[in-house]
Structure 1
């Protein structure tokens, strides 16, 4: 169970004594094997706030790859889990650059810090006074200026600020939730409270679009190949109905929208197969992405694209051999090419890739990928080599 921080904990951790305690605890291994000894050391050195110090050190270690510059930040377990990765938060902040912004569920300030860097003025509010205290500390650590206050997200303040919200996405059992009414605050109540205002709501990527008819734009965002969130835009900030934004930790990014052409043919496989980024697939923009890059579909209901040259910088699959899929014929194909290590990609077929790999009894020395899908009603297998074509 995650540690429950108090205001006294936050005050201690921000004090000179707390900083010294955190520095001491940061030197401990904090592994399963050393846990008993580490707790004993922390009790002796820190005193009553030892658990808060240990939890903070552990959370800072987890935050390193998610929140930029967070070495001196304060977190709770739930707030770190829900916080946007800095790259994603920065992208959203850039879309709001120059606007006055109010983050009405600011929590410990992960999004707020990025918003404050680009907004003309920035306010953060939350009902949880412990998280607000942490947000004040984190904003100071980041060197940004934001007004912070305790307030209910469903009680709008006067003004023209863009409202940003990140409702909690788990029910009381800890399971992910997809129903708008189960978010905290509920999505429909949030939309009603700010009707007529520019509103930006971060949500789980699995949220059905039809459940949020008030959203003028739905943006699916991925980072380094993993779909991170759906962002709902209402008001003037919305410019299209559907958008897919693909971000990389190296700073590169691109986007595709439903305003682009989507005329692509359905035709036999070309030299390459392209598996579009998950944000493109979830946003329903596979055809738009294909049209942009001169690709076509193997089947109009399947998200794989194919062509004679893949988009630059994308991991794609050069087709070596293909044919109707049966396990016996696939096994023979793998033996012909001496495949010993196999990546299996599947769309449109009910196949367990791990179980299939075991049944293939691989014994060669070569590495390959196999794409299993259906064309019409017929299952097909495409043996491929994965490659990345670098930009010219």
Structure 2
């Protein structure tokens, strides 16, 4: 693993870390404190006790505070970094923004056939780690010096693990610099995850698409110029910004919509411009996620509206964002509960990874006083409230209903045939 301190962009103005002690975490003293903290936590010590013991080992209070924070972050990082998490250097913002390992692995598969991929704006290195594990060399570029140092450490951990298990590891180069200046070099593949939040290592906030860094124009141009190009973006990106020559893929993990990816060149599948990718399971490295996809050449027209059936379906967020509800409806012989509202209705119980399925028990009154009485009569004390197409605050409504009783149920508030409906349902 190498890092060249004389790369283009190295002398550009760079963010300065505001976290005293963090830069020393990669030093021998920092490594010793992190190892000591991990051992104490493994023995069941609370963080205040760990802190007290570390202060007997070192008088560098900033370094101790940094080590304690990273120890806590490592304990939360398994879902995103897998078995390597206990050895990685992390920041709060970096961990929050990093791809989960199941999603990063999905990205890496797109670069099959590339010898090297430039990860422009690599952050802590989540995408680069997946590329390494897929046997692909990495050219990682990061503007922030502290983040780049952590990425260098993290990729070194992965490279050593691969060398031990496989006998060799792909090449790794970590460069501190501006991706727009450094560029992808000779890499065949390019992956970009533009910063969508303000700079910093914690307490960051979202910015408008016009302020992404690097810009969307640069990201799209770089991805187009490569043999295989990918750009990771938020799932709510304005659809008018989606390039017509890209495959747009919305990804959800166990029901949580996590991203939209745009794929160019060999990374885009022929004839596919809209993809809803649903990952189920795979929450730990020991289990491979099941991958389910709906694919189309364009947005699917909505299905016809039908009446309230025996079953109600709430499409996965990836299906909704990809505008493939009509395609899902056609596969399940279902119709829309109401025009423009993302609920489907059918009389046959479906089995699908692309939607939550509810059996409609009965229709209840929509007037709050009558609804409260009906729920009380049925002894419902635990109520999940789902709503689409109606102006209701579920938490406030649940409080006003003053639920009591041993039963639990789901209440769906929506519209059907031009009227408000309240459907008592149970999950299938």
Whether TM exceeds 0.5 here: the answer is yes
The corresponding residue for 1:390 is none
The corresponding residue for 1:248 is 280
Matched residue SS, 1:114: helix
Matched, 1:358 2:404: no
Note the alpha carbon deviations across 1:293-329, whole angstroms, 9 max, x for none: 2222111211001112122466411011115622234
Distance in 1 of aligned mates of 2:245 and 2:146: 31
CA-CA distance at 1:27 after TM superposition: 4.6
Structure-2 change in CA distance of 1:140 and 1:159 (3 Å):
closer
CA-CA distance at 1:254 after TM superposition: 0.5
CA-CA distance at 1:213 after TM superposition: 3.2
CA-CA distance at 1:264 after TM superposition: 3.2
The corresponding residue for 2:422 is 381
Question: What is the alpha-carbon root mean square deviation over aligned residues?
Answer: 2.8
User: Is the 8 Å Cα contact of residues 154 and 193 (structure 1) preserved in structure 2?
Assistant: no
The corresponding residue for 2:35 is 23
The corresponding residue for 2:73 is 59
The corresponding residue for 1:224 is 254
Matched residue SS, 1:371: strand
The corresponding residue for 2:320 is 281
User: Is the 8 Å Cα contact of residues 184 and 190 (structure 2) preserved in structure 1?
Assistant: no
User: Is the 8 Å Cα contact of residues 344 and 370 (structure 1) preserved in structure 2?
Assistant: yes
Q: TM-score, normalised by structure 1?
A: 0.87
Alignment: residue pair count: 380
Structure-2 change in CA distance of 1:67 and 1:3 (3 Å):
farther
Q: How do 1:207-218 residues align onto structure 2 when only pairs under 5 Å count? A: 207-213=237-243, 216-218=246-248
Answer 1 or 2: higher relative contact order, Cα 8 Å, separation at least 6.
2
CA-CA distance at 1:87 after TM superposition: 1.0
Structure 1: gaps of 5 or more residues: 388-392
Distance in 2 of aligned mates of 1:336 and 1:91: 49
Q: TM-score, normalised by structure 2?
A: 0.80
The corresponding residue for 1:83 is 98
Matched, 1:162 2:189: yes
Structure-2 change in CA distance of 1:120 and 1:42 (3 Å):
closer
Structure-2 change in CA distance of 1:366 and 1:4 (3 Å):
same
CA-CA distance at 1:136 after TM superposition: 2.8
Structure-2 change in CA distance of 1:248 and 1:342 (3 Å):
same
The corresponding residue for 1:134 is 150
Structure 2: gaps of 5 or more residues: 1-16, 163-168, 283-288
Note the alpha carbon deviations across 1:10-43, whole angstroms, 9 max, x for none: 431xx3x54432222225569xx97666544323
Matched residue SS, 2:70: helix
Select 1:309's aligned residue among 339, 349, 361. 349
Structure-2 change in CA distance of 1:271 and 1:131 (3 Å):
same
Structure-2 change in CA distance of 1:111 and 1:326 (3 Å):
same
